[in-house]
Amino acid sequence: MAQSNDALWGGRFAGGPSEALAALSKSTHFDWRLASYDLKGTSAHLIALNAAGYLNDDEHAALNKAVAELAKRVEAGSFTPKPTEEDVHAALERGLIEIAGAQLAGKIRAGRSRNDQIATLIRSFMLDAADAIEEQLLNYLDALCTQAEEHMGVAMPGRTHFQHAQPVLLSHHLLAHAWPQVRNLQRLEDWRRRANKSAYGAGALAGNTLGLDPKLVAEALGLNGVSENSMDATSSRDLVAEFAFVLSMISIDLSRISEEVIAWVSYEFGYAKLADDFSTGSSIMPQKKNPDIAELARGKSGRLIGNLAGLLATLKGLPLSYNRDLQEDKEPVFDSFDSLMLLFPAFNGMISTLTFDRERLESLAPKGFSLATDVAEWLVKQGVVFRDAHEITGELVKFCEDNSLELDQVSDEDLQKVSKHLKPDLRKVLRVSGSIEARNGAGGTSSSQVVDQLVSLRKLTKAKRS
Ligand code: ARG
């Protein structure tokens, strides 16, 4: 049950591969996506072949024309791979032969291998993908900054262990979700320095004997340099894993804010409302307005983590140099990229259209004895040792709980009963705004610190965009 061989490697075989092998081996259905990168790689390779004297100028020009023509046909969809073609490389070689003839197009494969090709193509793909992701990340940061700007001065409960802890500004909370994504942007920038290298010239594993200059290829591809080791160039996929990690981290950071949005728009919290066009209804419960975008974001992060984990498992234990296992690197990274690109526009829309209930946030900010730390620190300023201040404040909280009072509802006499140190002057720190503005150290929640944060974020995103 052998089938005809459209592959690039028929010579030493008496028959084609079995249908079962061909089906298993085939990657065209997903690596066709790299066709435009493969053609750019071919144009670059032609320069090296010409420079080394394997193509004269006329041949070079004719092949360049053929590549351009094929690129047009691929783009227009009039040239597509045959079902029997193993991969993008095989299909495109046929395309070039159809246009330029076997004699001329047959020269192109000299000095390159699918191994150095694919290692370079996936990098070129990821570099473009990184641009697109960065653009979406910047839109997300803008959405957070705009919400933070519009809600300057609104207090809310800050939590630890999901319990009321200390009041914070809503803007401070929102911007706390911006900085991890800034770090993800920086991770992409840093990754780019490593990914920006061509594997061309590595051949199958050991380099090539034809004296082709890989720098010419790298230059033509707009890449910054050439891999230092041909075996490493063709066999490592750490750059793919690293990219998949950054995409996973981006999705995990989106998942974290999603979890909060889901809580915020619940009846019990009532912190915020979702816009109609960024929420969904229920087929049976007419009253429902569901945070599906946030839930899908949370769900997709699991998928991206899976893509990364699968890829890492594929790489573990691979001996040098190229192994066919490496074909499994592409689908996970395509999927992570596509998932984020699908998610981001909806997610950014959801964030920019959230409407917060300022009164509710403000009224909840002091609840749950969230000003207790301020009481303890006020006592310290009166000269009480912090250990004692902590103890006294704890007793005051207990007194409030026993009598169903908030801290600011305790009378002067009762304050004195709890501790002689609790003088009426204490009341001035029992205000949310006082508590917030007092936290004026670098990175604190006071309004001037939050304004500083906003200014740096806006500066950062503007610089990144230009
Ligand atoms: N489809 C292969 C991959 O993605 C291309 C390289 C094939 N090389 C080989 N020696 N069969 O890794």
- pLDDT recorded at residue 7: 76
Q: How far is the CA of 222 from the centre of ligand 1 (A)?
A: 23
Nearest alpha carbon to residue 22 among 4, 41, 38: 4
Protein residue with its CA nearest to atom 4 in ligand 1: 327
Structure tokens at 367: 């609840």
Return the active site residues.
161, 282
- pLDDT recorded at residue 239: 98
**Nearest-10 crossing angle of helices 114-150, 178-195:** 160
Structure tokens at 160: 């630890």
Q: How far is the CA of 367 from the centre of ligand 1 (A)?
A: 62
Q: Prior bond to 321 cis, omega within 30?
A: yes
Phi first, then psi: give them for residue 6, nearest 5 degrees: -95, 10
Q: How far is the CA of 203 from the centre of ligand 1 (A)?
A: 12
Structure tokens at 20: 């079962």
From the alpha carbon of 89, which atom of ligand 1 is closest? 5
- pLDDT recorded at residue 123: 98
From the alpha carbon of 113, which atom of ligand 1 is closest? 8
Nearest alpha carbon to residue 314 among 331, 302, 335, 336: 331
- Which of 112, 118, 200, 237 to mutate to test ligand 1, by most ligand atoms within 8 A of the CB atom? 118
CB atoms within 10 A of CB 54: 18
d(CA 332, CA 306): 8
CB atoms within 10 A of CB 118: 26
- pLDDT recorded at residue 182: 98
Q: What is the 3-state secondary structure (H, E, C) of 230-281?
A: HHHHHHCCHHHHHHHHHHHHHHHHHHHHHHHHHHHCCCCCCCEECCHHHCEC
Q: How far is the CA of 318 from the centre of ligand 1 (A)?
A: 15
At 73-106, the pLDDT tens digits run 999 999 999 999 999 999 999 999 999 999 999 9
Q: How far is the CA of 104 from the centre of ligand 1 (A)?
A: 24
Protein residue with its CA nearest to atom 12 in ligand 1: 327
Q: How far is CA 352 from CA 145, 174, 344, 346, in A?
A: 10, 12, 12, 10
- Which of 115, 126, 200, 311 to mutate to test ligand 1, by most ligand atoms within 8 A of the CB atom? 115
- pLDDT recorded at residue 4: 53
From the alpha carbon of 114, which atom of ligand 1 is closest? 6
Q: 0.85 exceeded by the pTM?
A: yes
- pLDDT recorded at residue 2: 52
At 325-383, the pLDDT tens digits run 999 999 999 999 999 999 999 999 999 999 999 999 999 999 999 999 999 999 999 99
Protein residue with its CA nearest to atom 1 in ligand 1: 327
Q: Residue 224 class from Cβ within 10 Å (0-12 exposed, 13-18 middle, 19+ buried)? A: middle
Q: What is the 3-state secondary structure (H, E, C) of the chain?
A: CECCCCCCCCCCCCCCCEHHHHHHHCCHHHHHHHHHHHHHHHHHHHHHHHHCCCCCHHHHHHHHHHHHHHHHHHHHCCCCCCCCCCCHHHHHHHHHHHHHCHHHHCCCCCCCCHHHHHHHHHHHHHHHHHHHHHHHHHHHHHHHHHHHHHCCCCEEEEEECCEEEEEEEHHHHHHHCHHHHHHHHHHHHHHHHHHCEECCCCCCCCCCCCCCCHHHHHHHCCCCEECCCHHHHHHCCHHHHHHHHHHHHHHHHHHHHHHHHHHHCCCCCCCEECCHHHCECCCCCCCCCECHHHHHHHHHHHHHHHHHHHHHHHHCCCCCCCCHHHHHHHHHHHHHHHHHHHHHHHHHHHHHHCEECHHHHHHHCCCCCCCHHHHHHHHHHCCCCHHHHHHHHHHHHHHHHHCCCCHHHCCHHHHHHHCCCCCHHHHHHCCHHHHHHHCCCCCCCCHHHHHHHHHHHHHHHHHHHC
d(CA 94, CA 91): 5
Digit-by-digit pLDDT tens for the chain (466 residues) are: 455 557 777 788 878 789 999 999 999 999 999 999 999 999 999 999 999 999 999 999 999 999 999 999 999 999 999 999 999 999 999 999 999 999 999 999 999 999 999 999 999 999 999 999 999 999 999 999 999 999 999 999 999 999 999 999 999 999 999 999 999 999 999 999 999 999 999 999 999 999 999 999 999 999 999 999 999 999 999 999 999 999 999 999 999 999 999 999 999 999 999 999 999 888 888 888 899 999 999 999 999 999 999 999 999 999 999 999 999 999 999 999 999 999 999 999 999 999 999 999 999 999 999 999 999 999 999 999 999 999 999 999 999 999 999 999 999 999 999 999 999 999 988 999 999 999 999 999 999 999 999 999 999 999 999 9
CB atoms within 10 A of CB 273: 15
- pLDDT recorded at residue 5: 59
Ligand 1 neighbours by CB, cut-off 6 Å = 27, 31, 87, 114-115, 118, 322, 324, 326-327
Structure tokens at 241: 């894993």
CB 251 within 8 A of CB 301: yes
